[in-house]
């Protein structure tokens, strides 16, 4: 089995992780680290705005997938981590659902309410596995 690290940016190097790992064999698979509302240098953005954070996290996920040669439609597993499930459902889920529908993505998914993410300003993070 072959392994390829996919890093569109370099800010994560200081934390010792990668944005995604592509494994190839009988089929192509990419496993993405959680993507949140962060700028290209890793700075949290859109503090306090669940809709904007959801949109940026989806943008970042699509950026990682594209760098690896995948599309959002290729996602087969999507974990959603949020610090406020009720707020995500009321404000972020519509953004998330629309993006999935527009791309033709119908992944398995888990929504998890957690105490906090890596930065206290972040409210939502998406972790995905894609296959093609």
pLDDT digits 0-9 by tens, 3-53: 688 989 998 887 767 788 787 774 889 999 999 999 999 999 999 999 999
Choose among 96, 98, 69, 71: nearest CA to 81: 96
46 token code pair = 């859109």
Other beta carbons less than 10 A from residue 72's beta carbon:
20
Q: How much is the pTM?
A: 0.86
Q: How far apart are CA 120 and CA 83, in angstroms?
A: 9
| Every domain of the chain and the residues it spans | 2-131
Q: How far apart are CA 63 and CA 70, in angstroms?
A: 9
Select from 3.10.20.30, 3.90.1170.50, 3.30.1330.40, 3.50.30.50 the CATH code of 2-131. 3.30.1330.40
The 3-state DSSP class for residue 30 equals: strand
Q: How far apart are CA 51 and CA 114, in angstroms?
A: 18
- What local confidence, expressed as pLDDT, does residue 121 receive? 97
Q: How far apart are CA 75 and CA 52, in angstroms?
A: 21
Q: Is the pLDDT of residue 71 over 70?
A: yes
- What local confidence, expressed as pLDDT, does residue 17 receive? 74
Of 106 and 75, the one with more pLDDT: 75
């Amino acid at each position: 089995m072959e392994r390829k690290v996919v890093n569109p940016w370099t800010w994560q190097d200081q934390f010792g992780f990668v944005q995604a790992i592509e494994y190839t064999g009988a089929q192509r698979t990419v496993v993405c680290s959680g993507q949140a509302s962060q700028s290209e240098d890793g700075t949290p953005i859109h503090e306090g705005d669940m809709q904007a954070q959801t949109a940026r996290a989806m943008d970042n996920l699509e950026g990682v997938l594209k760098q690896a040669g995948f599309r959002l439609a290729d996602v087969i597993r999507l974990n959603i981590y949020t610090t406020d499930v009720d707020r995500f459902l009321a404000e972020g889920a519509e953004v998330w659902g629309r993006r999935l529908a527009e791309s033709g993505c119908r992944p398995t998914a888990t929504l998890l309410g957690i105490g906090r993410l890596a930065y206290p300003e972040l409210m939502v993070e998406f972790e995905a596995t894609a296959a093609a």
